[in-house]
Structures are given as structure tokens and as C-alpha cells.
Amino acid sequence: EAGVTQSPTHLIKTRGQQATLRCSPISGHTSVYWYQQALGLGLQFLLWYDEGEERNRGNFPPRFSGRQFPNYSSELNVNALELEDSALYLCASSLGRTSGVADTQYFGPGTRLTVL
Amino acid sequence: SQQGEEDPQALSIQEGENATMNCSYKTSINNLQWYRQNSGRGLVHLILIRSNEREKHSGRLRVTLDTSKKSSSLLITASRAADTASYFCATSGGATNKLIFGTGTLLAVQP
């Protein structure tokens, strides 16, 4: 069974540009999460989508947005890129919020975003 | 902001020795999970322990949870060079499902 996949692996942008990162969850999972791992800041929760809706958002500016498609894949958009947005962006998936179980989150390999 | 603190920040041991990592957190939780990360790549899920469990085993891994002290420990027995990685604890609570990660322990296993 395929795990969580993310694309691209690496992305280089310049300040002020927009970045789009993509994630495909494990088959059967309806929840997708995005996390940022920046140097010195550790792993921080960004967004949670379930059944196409944004369910929760971390402490990030509105420049960070996303969506979940009907096939449960997801996209993270970062507008007006700043140097400090350089980080590894990790996507995770789990069974949906109505599954009634303590959900293990399975992570993809990440997208390394570099802002110059 | 980070909720969890992990101790030690770094640990270096010889192959065959046991490695123990500790995690402390601040608020009530539904469950606690441990993950491994190799060289800045994705996170590999190791084990999940629910708030009503005190100990769990998986292969060479043993996890304990003390909710009264808001702490957890991960023991890796008979370590191997391939266990060299960063290890993170992550908690979830309430209805948000988001994971709050600890600061991580960098484990180096010398062959």
C-alpha cells in the first residue's frame, strides 16, 4: 500500500513569490495535516483538513492557505514568500475525525522549500 | 509553540546498548505518539499510547506514559547503527487532532 506522497521534493523560490505544495494521503484516509519544520523552531502544526473542510489552523499568517480536493489530496499555498518561510513542509494523513479511534498520523517525505 | 520538551537533546551510545529518551508535556492529552526522523526527511511513526495506557511494547521499543507527571519515555533496547536518527514525541488532545511536538532527541549509535 502506498504511503503519503508529496511533491515536489525540493522547491526554490524568491522572496515575494508564491509556492504550491501538494500531498496525496494514504488510500482510505480522509484527514490531511500540514506541518512546518523550520530550523530552530521545531515541528509546528499548520492546517488540518477533513472531508474537504478546514478543521483547524495553527498560529500562522493568512499567507498560508490550502485546500482539500474531493479525492482527499491537498494543496498548501504560501503567498508573498518571506525568507523565514524556508523550511521542510510535512504532510500527514489519518483516518477521519469521525472514525472514533485515536488516529495515528502517517507522514510523507516532505517538501524542502528554500526562499532566496 | 512547542508543548513538549525532550531530554536529553542528544545521546550517543554504542551498538547493543539501550537508549532512553524522555518527553514532558504541559496539558491533558488523548494520546502520545513517538516518531523517528532520519536526516531531515519525513517522520516514521513508531508507537502510539493512549492516555489510559501506562506501558506499550513494539519489538525493541518500550514506551511508558505517566499522566500524573505529564511525561513519557521511549526505551530502545539492543540499539543498532540504523537506529541513528532524531526522535520526537507528539501529543494530541481535545477535538483538534493536531499534533504538538517535542523538541526532539538526536540519537547517535556508534557501530
Of B45, B50, B103, the CB nearest to A106: B45
- Inter-chain contact B35–A107, Cβ cutoff 8 Å? yes
What pLDDT, on a 0 to 100 scale, did the predictor assign at position A101?
A: 54
SS3 assignment, position B81: helix
Q: Which of residues 50 through 69 in chain B touch A, CB cutoff 8 A?
A: 50
Q: What domains appear along chain B, each with residue ranges and CATH number? A: 5-110 (2.60.40.10)
What is the C-alpha separation between A59 and A91, in angstroms, rounded?
A: 17
For residue B46, how many other CB atoms are within 10 A of its CB?
18
Q: Give A42 to chain B, closest Cα distance, Å.
A: 6
What pLDDT, on a 0 to 100 scale, did the predictor assign at position B96?
A: 75
Q: What is the mean pLDDT of residues B4-20?
A: 93
Q: Is A33 on the interface with B (CB under 8 A)?
A: yes
Of A45, A97, A110, the CB nearest to B99: A45
Closest CA to A21 of A37, A4, A35, A7: A7
Closest CA to B86 of B19, B26, B27: B19
What pLDDT, on a 0 to 100 scale, did the predictor assign at position B20?
A: 97
Q: What is the DSSP string of A12-38?
A: EE-TT--EEEEEEPPTT--EEEEEEEE
pLDDT digits (tens, 9 = 90+) for A15-66: 999 999 999 999 999 999 999 999 878 899 999 999 999 999 999 999 999 9
Q: CA dist A73 to A51, A98, B18, B53, B98, Å?
A: 10, 18, 40, 33, 18
Q: Give B91 to chain A, closest Cα distance, Å.
A: 11
Q: What are phi and psi of A99, to 5 degrees?
A: -70, -20
pLDDT digits (tens, 9 = 90+) for A90-113: 999 998 766 555 578 999 999 999
pLDDT digits (tens, 9 = 90+) for B40-96: 788 999 999 999 999 999 999 999 999 999 999 999 999 999 999 999 999 988 777
- Inter-chain contact A33–B99, Cβ cutoff 8 Å? yes
- Inter-chain contact B42–A109, Cβ cutoff 8 Å? yes
What pLDDT, on a 0 to 100 scale, did the predictor assign at position A100?
A: 53
Q: What domains appear along chain A, each with residue ranges and CATH number? A: 5-9+17-99 (2.60.40.10)
pLDDT exceeds 60 at position B1? no
Q: What is the mean pLDDT of residues A62-72?
A: 96
- Inter-chain contact A43–B31, Cβ cutoff 8 Å? no
pLDDT exceeds 80 at position B103? yes
Number of H helices, E strands in chain B: 0, 11
pLDDT exceeds 60 at position A69? yes
| Burial per residue of A74-113, b for 16 or more beta-carbon CB atoms within 10 angstroms, e otherwise | bbbebeebeeebbbbbbbbbbbbbeeeebbebbbbbbbbb
What pLDDT, on a 0 to 100 scale, did the predictor assign at position B95?
A: 73
pLDDT exceeds 80 at position B110? yes
Residue B35, class by beta-carbon neighbours within 10 Å (0-12 exposed, 13-18 middle, 19+ buried)?
Answer: buried
